[in-house]
Homo-oligomer: A and B are copies of this chain.
Amino acid sequence: MSLNHAILGFLKDKPLTGYELKSVFDMTVRHFWPADQSRIYRALSSLADEGWTEVEVVEQDTRPDRKVYHITDAGRAELHRWLTTPLPGKGQHHAELVQVFFAGQLNDGEILDMLRRMAAMAEAEYNVLSSHPALSGDCPIENTSRSLFFKMLTLHYGIYISNASATWLKETIARIENSEHEKGGKL
């Protein structure tokens, strides 16, 4: 399970609590691996059950005790195993494309609303990623320059793909505005 292994990946750098992990996920991998708070806590339980992490309970007076998770040797081995194992390439479910696929049933106004909305989403995504703090050297996690290189790669991938997506949508909108779909224009 990728969530478990992503957590191991973060814990390898530094011991963390569930609460801290939630904000680390949000600051770094949110755009390709959004993680729900409740799932992080449950994943942390299962990692400890399997012996891949150990819990250090830090008592606090005024707040709930912090449970700081440390990766074990077994956890490091499991992380390495997973990182070098090909993933079963599961087809992604892309509900927006289902809407496009059946858009012929709508009138042009409805279709343009749909596509403009999607284009706005793709552009917003592009803008969010393009203004990511890591791009201005403000990196929220500890990194060697080597590990930073690969973390930045995923950000650049997101920028690249959201840009491609937005471009495709804008071109499609332009084609529909020119009524190509009614003139039998070639794709």
Contacts and interface: CB of A to CB of B under 8 A. Distances in A.
Interface of A: 2, 5-6, 9, 12, 28-34, 79-80, 82-84, 86-87, 89-106, 110-111, 113-114, 117, 121, 143-154, 156-157, 160-161, 164-165, 168, 172, 180-182, 184, 187
Given A83-B105, A121-B89, A145-B184, A98 B150 contact: no
The listed residue with most B CB atoms (<10 A of its CB), out of A30, A79, A99, is: A99
12 contacts: A29-B97, A33-B91, A80-B106, A100-B154, A101-B153, A104-B144, A145-B181, A146-B181, A149-B181, A161-B161, A161-B165, A164-B164
A155 to B, nearest CB: 9
B151 A157 contact: no
Contact of A164 (B92, B147, B161): B161
A9 B101 contact: yes
A95 B101 contact: no
B165 A153 contact: no
Given A98-B6, A104-B151, A153-B100, A117 B168 contact: no
Nearest to A151: B101
Contact of A98 (B29, B95, B104, B172): B29
A16 to B, nearest CB: 15
Give the most central of A145, A157, A160, A168: most B CB within 10 Å: A157
Number of copies of this chain that the complex holds: 2
A177 to B, nearest CB: 14
Contacts of A79: 102, 105
B150 A160 contact: no
Contacts of A117: 86
A98 B32 contact: yes
Contacts of A96: 87
